[in-house]
Structure 1
Amino acid sequence: MRRLALLAALAVSPLGHAHDMHGMAMGHEAPLGFDAAIDAKGRLWVVDTVGDHVRVRRSDDMGKGFALSTIVNPAGEPIYAEGENRPKLALGPQGELYVTWSQPRKAPWTGFVRFSRSLDDGAHFDAPKTVHVDRAEITHRFDSLAVDGKGRVVVAWIDKRDLEAATQAGKPYLGAATYYSWSTDRGEHFVPERKIVDQSCECCRIALARAPDGSVNAFFRAIYGDNIRDHAFATLSVDGGHPAVQRGTFTQWHIEGCPHHGPSLAIDASGVKHAVWFSAADDKPTISYGQLVPGKPPVHTAVVATTGASHADLAVDGQRVWIAWNQMTASGLDLMLRESTDGGASFGPPRAIAHTDGASGWPKFVLSAHQPFVAWNPGGMFRLVQVTP
């Protein structure tokens, strides 16, 4: 009964909206999901949704105003646009703009991963395409997007084709699988998808980060044993090899369902994998920080925040590490921050850097000339919060 009570508590998002076990909103919340990035010219790019349309905007004054707003999919289509399942944005080395999102299909909790690109500085986007070869009306959702050091576009997502096959064969299968694909021609074509691993969590976002060697690493919630929902990480090979998946966290959280609470990952110039993740093992909701070690418990672990804290993101620049998260309070939602100046060995105390009386999308770090900002979306009113000492 304690597990059921915990699951029921987790099924109510920090935004105050109940969700089912598959990530669909059970209500009529406004879509607050967004993504953001700053390009080499110091311009801010934001992707979000307006009705059945994905929208990309550019700000030349760090979010005070938007000089450009372009609809990515003029024809319109259903879009998952909140929580863990929101549109994504990535920048290419030649000024390319890449966008992905998950498109609901007719059956509940199904979806296709969609992709579009702009090669003319956001003025126009190509007609959207589906990334994966498999077109079964099943889950292909919770997409994540990155660009590697050679400009190749990498897309990862949660996929239930193996669950469907196991069910038809009368075999047990927990959760879903994670898959990925990539493009070597700036998104013109994608290779047939490959599996990262079986039995990962159904509705937790996948964190992608680029390593110093240019490769893209994935960090995601996996399932071990009888519904132990910890995390795994892997380098996503784009040269014909298969990802070597390693266990990353060892909280031993046993939960028979998805907590809708994916991790974040940032890799510094020396290759250290800085990570934050959520667990409620022993009925203690906790956001933790640690540095990932293949097959071993993380090192330099620290408790970042506890009750009421959710959906942390982090950024790394040299010896500075920043963590931001949403914190529920009696008067609304605080955007919280903790900072390390010694490479994650220790962190200063938590402090609030913004507040909203209502709901907000999850925080997202962006860096400009070594200066961190936190993109936030309280009530759908996008803002960029500068991190000051």
Structure 2
Amino acid sequence: MYRINPKNSIKILFILIYFSSNIIPFHLKYALSVLLSFLFFNCGQDTPTMAEAECFQLPKGTHLPRLFLTPENIQLSYVLSEQEQHNLLAFPIPPSENSTQTTVFQSGKEWFVNWADFPSIKYVDEGLHGHVFFSHALEYSAGGTYDYDIKYSFRDDNGPLFIPRKLHQDTVSAEHGFLSSAQLPEGGLQVSWLDGRYTKQAGADAGAKKVAEQSDDHGHGGGGAMTLRTKALTDSVSVELDHRVCDCCNTATVATDDLVMVAYRDRSEHEIRDIGYVIKPTGREWSTPKLVHADNWEISGCPVNGPALAANGAGNIAIVWYTAPADRAQILFSRYDAALDAWQPPTLLDDNAPLGRVDLQLAEDGTAYATALTTRENIDDAFLTLWAIAPSGEVEREDLVSTSPARSSGFPKIALFEDKLYWARTVVGEEKGQHHVEVCWR
């Protein structure tokens, strides 16, 4: 590997970008910076990674990473924020030392950029129509802090980027976010999101029953709760799955040959916020909401800590989630029994004041890989902890890396590709704006 003193590499990096800034377009300039970062920072020399792994770090200003798969490779998506400009980019990992393959998927100056609700990219097999890359970002629709729409776009491998369009059909300036998506077996993409269309208008019941959209605004007034909606991208309308859900916890969506499932944090009239789920068996309608497990967590505000779902090619589904009934924070894991439409009794992974921010992958042999941020007594840092849960129930635990517990460290993500485990996170700098993305694999 190339080894250069990190302090000198930073100087070289900024000098090269500075002198090329007026003659090189943005996407090429930034691709150059990524390549230089790979050459100079490969192996994460400044990061106390505990697990033996290959790592590299992206330049300063990068954050909010995700990992997504294509048939040929695994790719890292992330946001580069420079002044008022935000760019959603991606490239294959590990990057080639002989070429730059960074692609810009979306850009904007009116984005809502948040540590917990952030852009994504997904490879989509369109069946007979080929394949495309789906991307989404959040764009302000009005002057309110949480008035934003979900904007999505497509592009193929070499074609132009399609103009982003609004995902939802309502015209209410309110919160729409926390999108999750899953590739459908027949081709296309199922997307789910939190929809605040009823939170702003006076006199609504917030959609007391599940209905399909009939128009842009189909007669509901507001003052209601956050709702959960879903649609296949080929559908012209969306469906309301739950009329009262937690306001700002991420959703999770998976699909198998037999069903589509959406998991989320529910919200009862008595402020019990446990994890709910709905399913759509192939050829049938969406089910009514059920709880994964009755944790009985009563909390008056949103904990910003949603579930993670994973499915494998055999049709197995698993879930991991954060909960804190009676102020006892826990990370729980369970597997789904499709024959019974029920979840197995949960496995306790951690109850030593974990922070949550979970993610999950499910290998073809049934082994589940779950991550969360955990804590240790008398230690300021948090830890990105990995659990390997065998189908037999045996659990192995290890800390992958120490990290900041601050919100700016975001939600670390994991992925499995060709028998390797990948993880990506935002490394928090000492000063504001000095964060950067690190990705590792082994």
TM-score scaled by length of structure 2: 0.71
The 3 A distance-change label for structure 1 pair 212 and 226 is: same
In 2 relative to 1, CA 73–269 (structure 1 residues): closer, same or farther, beyond 3 Å?
closer
- 2:273 match: 229
Secondary structure at the residue paired with 1:161?
A: coil
Secondary structure at the aligned position of 2:318 is classed as strand
- Residues 1:381 and 2:413 aligned together: no
Q: Aligned pair 1:87/2:119, yes or no?
A: yes
What is the alpha-carbon distance in structure 2 between the residues aligned to residue 336 and residue 65 of structure 1? 34
The alignment partner of 1:59 has SS state of strand
Residue in structure 1 matching 2:383, options 334, 339, 345? 334
Q: Secondary structure at the match of 1:157?
A: strand
Cα shift readout 1:252-306 (whole Å, capped 9, x = no counterpart)? 1111111100010112344332111111101101111112458987324222123
Q: Is the contact made by 1:31 and 1:81 (CA closer than 8 Å) also made in structure 2?
A: no
1:299 to 319, 338, 344: 344
Separation (CA, whole Å) in 2 of partners of 1:261 and 1:203: 8
Contact 2:118 2:137 in 1 (8 A): yes
Q: 1:68 maps to what in 2?
A: 101
Aligned length: 348
Letter in 2 for 1:41: E
Query: What is the CA distance between 1:333 and its match in structure 2?
Result: 3.2
Identity of aligned residues (%): 16
Match of 1:78 in 2: 110
1:48-63 paired onto structure 2 within 5 Å: 48-51=79-82, 52-61=85-94
2:346 is equivalent to residue 346 of structure 1: no
Q: Would you say the 8 A contact 1:84–1:262 is kept in 2? A: no
For the pair 1:101 / 2:134, whether they are aligned, the reply is no
Q: 1:74-131: CA deviations, max 9, x gaps?
A: 4x2322333321111211124411111222332232221110111135x642111101
**Gapped regions of structure 2 (runs ≥ 5):** 1-60, 207-220, 429-434
| Contact 2:228 2:245 (C-alpha < 8 Å) held by counterparts | yes
- Provide, for residues 213-249 of structure 1, a one-character-per-residue CA deviation record: whole Å limited to 9, x for no partner: 3x43211011234111011112257978344432212
Aligned-residue CA RMSD (Å): 3.0
Aligned partner of 2:66: which letter?
D
Asked if the contact 2:190–2:232 (Cα under 8 Å) also holds between the matched residues in 1, the reply is yes
Larger radius of gyration: 2
User: Residues 269 and 59 of structure 1: is their aligned pair in 2 closer, same or farther, counting only changes over 3 Å?
Assistant: closer
- How high is the TM-score relative to the length of structure 1? 0.79
What CA distance in whole angstroms lies between the structure 2 residues aligned with 1:334 and 1:127? Answer: 40
TM-aligned CA deviation for residue 144 of structure 1: 1.8
Letter in 2 for 1:178: L
- Correspondences of 1:115-130 after superposition (within 5 Å): 115-121=152-158, 124-130=160-166
- Answer whether contact 1:33 1:81 (CA < 8 A) is retained: no
- Cα gap change, 1:156 to 1:343, in 2 (>3 Å): same
Q: Secondary structure at the match of 1:224?
A: coil
1:308 and 2:357 correspond? no
What residue is the counterpart of 1:35 in the other structure?
Answer: 66
Q: State the one-letter code of the partner of 2:116.
A: E
Higher-RCO chain (CA-CA 8 Å, sequence separation at least 6): 2
* SS state at 1:35 partner: strand
Q: Distance in 2 between matches of 1:177 and 1:285?
A: 26
Contact residue 172 and residue 200 of structure 2 kept, 8 A: no
Residue 180 in structure 1 maps to residue 230 in structure 2: yes
Q: Distance in 2 between matches of 1:144 and 1:124?
A: 24
Partner SS, residue 282 of structure 1: helix
Q: 1:300-339 CA distances to partner (integer Å, 9 max, x unpaired)?
A: 4222123133211111111311111223452423221111
> Does the aligned pair in 1 maintain the 2:62–2:437 contact within 8 Å?
no
Structure 2 CA distance for aligned equivalents of residues 59 and 375 of structure 1: 13
5+ unaligned residues in a row in structure 1: which ranges? Answer: 1-29, 185-189
Offset of residue 203 of structure 1: 0.3
| Code of the aligned partner of 2:193 | W
Greater shift in the superposed pair: 251-260 or 240-249: 240-249
Aligned to 1:18: none
Paired with 1:46 and 1:66, the residues of 2 have a C-alpha distance of: 18
Counterpart of 2:243?
Answer: 198
Contact persistence 1:286–1:304 (CA under 8 A)? yes
The amino acid across from 1:324 in the alignment is: T
User: C-alpha offsets along residues 31-90 of structure 1, whole Å, 9 cap, x if unaligned?
Assistant: 83232212111242414243433322212526989832233334x232233332111121
